[in-house]
Amino acid sequence: MGKAKARNQNSPINPRKSSQSTSDTLLRELELLLEHYSSDAARLPLSPALQTLEAQSLRDARELGPVTEEKEAIGKLADELRMINDILEKHEYNKSSLIQILLDVQAQLRWLPKPALRWISERLDIPLGQIYNIVTFYKAFSLVPLGRNIVQVCLGTSCHVRGGSRRLDSIEQILDIKAGETTADQEFTLQTVNCLGCCALAPVMVVNDKVYGNVRMDGIKNILDSVRGKSK
Ligand code: FES
């Protein structure tokens, strides 16, 4: 017994393995919690880590829309964490792929919620503060939920002299939001950019990945209507 203990103390610690087993335990606990919500059993006391996850998942779910059941929010969080595991697996838990991992997660969730960042931090054994430094530095990342459609209006020099600002005013009016905001129904997020590299087409706007050149004032509403309700 004493020998075995000594061997354990001397064995090298694999931080990735250790953080993964913590995460695996939490994921399993979430699944149990989900089963618990599905049953009519009396509420069981939760571990502090699970209480934190539960509270965060409810907060995040409320930000995305009305939540009628805790079960729904917890189920959603468990699905998200499994999805992140798949992305981490795809990148072979490579710390140097952190930015691509974050982009992939954001592409799935449309933002980077706190539990997702904490999960990535634990699984890759990268301090959470370091991950926050990256996501707050790059404009591509969002810590608030983005709309299903991302509208970008170019305000670079060429677009500006050809009426880019007036196009922006018009879009702000139609969507009833300012640049940098998301509509209440989560349908659109409006952003401005400085140059999209296609100045010959000025004024330019992009909706999701589609570039619209020589945008006319009277064509803006049609462009927005053409994507409304199409993205999930
Ligand atoms: S300034 Fe708008 S695309 Fe270059």
Q: Ligand 1: does its nearest atom lie under 6 Å from the Cβ of 198?
A: yes
User: Does the beta carbon of 196 sit less than 6 angstroms from any atom of ligand 1?
Assistant: yes
Span from the CA of 193 to the centroid of ligand 1 (angstroms): 9
Using an 8 Å Cβ cutoff, are 64 and 144 in contact? no
Query: Which of 153, 204, 212, 215 has the most ligand 1 atoms within 8 A of CB, as the residue to mutate?
Result: 204
The DSSP code for 182 is B
Distance CA(18)–CA(81), nearest Å, equals: 17
Can you give the pLDDT at residue 13?
40
148 CA from centroid of ligand 1 (Å)? 24
Edge to edge, the sheet with strand 149-154 lists 188-193, 149-154, 205-207, 210-212
CB atoms within 10 A of CB 67: 17
Predicted confidence at residue 47, as pLDDT, reads: 66
- Token look-up 């000025």 returns 202
Chain position carrying tokens 């702000």: 172
* Ligand 1 midpoint to CA 211 (Å): 11
In the numeric block, the tokens 């595991």 are attached to 85
- Output the pLDDT for position 75: 75
Spacing, Cα 179 to ligand 1 middle (Å): 17
CA of 101 to the centre of ligand 1 (A): 29
DSSP of 4-51, one letter per residue? HHHHHHHSPP-HHHHHHHHHHHHHHHHHHHHHHHHS-PPPPPPPHHHH
Q: What is the model's pLDDT at position 72?
A: 72
Pocket of ligand 1, candidates 165, 193, 196: which has the most ligand atoms within 8 Å of its Cβ, to mutate? 196
Contacts of residue 23, Cβ cutoff 8 Å, sequence gap at least 6: 81, 119, 122, 123
User: Which pLDDT value is given to residue 123?
Assistant: 87
Residues contacting residue 179 through CB under 8 Å, at least 6 positions apart: 153, 168, 172, 190, 191, 192
Note the pLDDT of residue 174.
97
pLDDT of residue 100: 97
- Give the gyration radius of the chain's Cα atoms: 22
CA distance 222 to 220: 5
Residue type, 121: S
Per-residue pLDDT of the chain (232 residues; tens, 9 = 90+): 333 333 343 334 444 555 556 666 666 666 666 665 555 554 556 667 667 766 776 666 565 555 556 667 777 777 888 899 899 999 999 999 999 999 999 999 989 988 889 889 988 999 999 999 999 999 889 998 899 999 999 999 999 999 999 999 999 999 999 999 999 999 999 999 999 999 999 999 999 989 999 999 999 999 999 998 776 5
